[in-house]
Amino acid sequence: MKKNAITFLATMLAFSSYAQDPKLLISEMMDALGGKENFYNKGNVTYAYEYADPNSKTNLRGQETYVFDKELSHASYTEHSLLGAAGKVVEGYDGKDAWVTINGTLSSDEKANGIARFLRKTNYYWFAMFFKLLDDGVHQEFTGTKNINGKEYNIVKITFGDKIGDVQDTYILYINKETKLVDQFLFTVVGFGITEPNLMIYEYETIDGIKIATKRKYIAANWEGEVVGKQHAITNWTNIKFKTDIDKSIFIKK
């Protein structure tokens, strides 16, 4: 009897430790999405992008293209209210530097180039984000569990080292205990001076064996995940295609 009790206690302690290991929780999440190796083996992706935020009256519409090696990022916009441009806007990031052209003319405007760098790195990151959460310099912390609308979640806080990225945001992931997927997360946008969180929720779509959060909306919230805003910002990713024939010269400043 005593031996059985000790074995049971050891098993329960091991299970408790496993359930609270944030790296293991994130690794399980990656597997549930279709696998990190499977994702990166696709090499590149293109998709149509639509963003609308009624709070800031920001509207973006265009075609996004990424190459996973060196995190190359490109977008051709038909609507870009952040720059107030009436014509065609093209942004690129070659793994080091960002650039933007308006109606085919390379911009030297500091603000325009800053916005281009933010969008090129941010849009890429949010597409690949869930497969990057175990990268070097990313810090993971298990902070507890929570029941939301009858569903149980493990909560993992994500922060970044000082030299990781242009700015260091904070993410709070709500990982569904049953599906192993992130159903929602809190995030800051320090690059735009937003240090209080927004709450992102979304719907997944399976594309070529990978679950992608293609329909997204977010709203101002507090750190408990309670909504405090009045209107959602909406993002839609459509016509997603992996492994396309991409001319890498599109990422280079011309």
DSSP the chain: -HHHHHHHHHHHHHHHHHHT-HHHHHHHHHHHHT-HHHHHHT-EEEEEEEEEETTTTEEEEEEEEEETGGGEEEEEEEEETTTT-SS-EEEEE-SS-EEEEETTEEP--HHHHHHHHHHHHHHHHHHHGGGSTTSTTEEEEEEEEEEETTEEEEEEEEEE-TTSSSS---EEEEEETTT-SEEEEEEEEGGGTEEEEEEEEEEEEEETTEEEEEEEEEEEB-TTS-B--SS-EEEEEEEEEES----GGGGS--
Which pLDDT score is estimated for 11? 46
Would the pTM of this model clear 0.75, i.e. be above it?
A: yes
Task: For the chain, give the mean pLDDT.
Answer: 91
- Report, as an integer, the average pLDDT of 24-38: 98
pLDDT at 54 over 80: yes
